Amino acid sequence: MNRGAPVAISGAGCLSASGESLMQNMKTLFQGKRNPDRPEAFSSSHPVTYPVFEIRYPLPGINDGQKKSLSRTAQLGLAAAAEAIKDAGLDPDAMSGLRVGVCMGTTVGSTMNDEQFYRDFKNMLEPDMFAISRYLNSNPSSVISKEYSLKGPCQTIVNACSSGTDAIGIGASWIRSGICDIVIAGGADELSRISYNGFISLMITDPDPCRPFDRNRKGLNLGEGAGVVVLESEYSLKRRNKKAKAFVLGYGSASDGYHLTAPHPEGRGLKRAIADAFVESGKKAGDIGFINAHGTATPENDMAEARVLKEIFNGIPFLSTKGYTGHTLGAAGAIEAVYTVASLEAGRIPASAGFSEIDPEAGISPVTENMGITGKTALSESLAFGGQNAVLILSTEGI
């Protein structure tokens, strides 16, 4: 791992249960509002109803044809990409002539939302194949690439809950290597009945609004959404006479291979990912102004993450934004990277929702009130099933 050149972020977009734009999301976060509720898009026979962070507004910019032919995951990614492209000041009609790549992360995407088709097929009922054609047409990266007639590399990352973070890190590497002038990178994921029941069966879902890092945390709440950034080369920015919003300084990725669904208790993989991101960015712990933690509110995740935060970043403010969005799985890392950039631009971070009592075993607590920050560099981290860990170091330094 060598030090890499900063990669400019020229645009950002986001939608979640906290709002249909990045601006609305940040307004909701700083107001301390959150709205977890029983799921409406699907039902479950489980005796306990667990709250989710479900998007209940029409997805902006999605037409009737896209609603019918694309999965909800693809629609979420498309909507966030449109906002990011507009924020970057890019002319959509001119993008087909540029070297533009797309790298999006997701987890299950839409593969689990065609239960009726699978039941009918299994029962030899010859169901309509539309469910399959829609699935095959809904690769999140391909959908964005086709929408803007792009000709650059196109890759979808499926790396559990670090997918969105990994997609941005990989997209930045395409800029550095000269493959692309522009990369649309991020993550998208929809709620699914099977994911909902699956996390319940793992006994890591809270029947109440989640409480990241709190002593009495019982688990996560699921959510849905998308976050997208426009990554751009220095040459492209100068040619367009535009300025960067922020920079990707470093990216690290490492697996601790400890357990299928739990991180190593000492966060070994996370430490390696942080170390790699430090080398690539040329930064050290003292340069970090705040940390947007993974903070799922599950007992094991938060404890492992807290140990690493205490060991490497003791005294540096940190927060989890999953108390406002729920855990959006493959979208989470991208949404949190976008929040990190917006917080750096605003010079302040929101309170970590749901926290009220320090866990004595962890010995650290997230920020409990909105607070100003003095640093211009921050870290966003993701921990995923399979022992995967990914870290981004983002900065507005020099802008």
CA 389 to mean position of chain CA atoms: 13
CB 256 within 8 A of CB 263: yes
CB 217 within 8 A of CB 42: no
Amino acid at 212: P
The contacts of residue 224 (CB under 8 Å, 6+ apart) are: 16, 17, 52, 53, 54, 55, 72, 76, 189, 190, 191, 326, 328, 331
Please pick, among 154, 180, 264, 294, the residue that the annotation labels catalytic. Answer: 294
For CA atoms 76, 77, 82, 88, the dihedral sign is: positive
Q: Which of 136, 133, 140, 179 is nearest to 157 (CA)?
A: 140
Question: Rounded to whole angstroms, how far apart are CA atoms 343 and 181?
Answer: 26
Is 281 strand, coil or helix? helix
**What tokens were used for 191?**
């709620």
Please pick, among 103, 161, 180, 210, the residue that the annotation labels catalytic. Answer: 161
HSE-CB of 284 using CA atoms within 13 angstroms:
1
327 among known catalytic residues: yes
Burial of 198 (0-12, 13-18, 19+ CB in 10 A): middle
Active site residues: 161, 294, 327
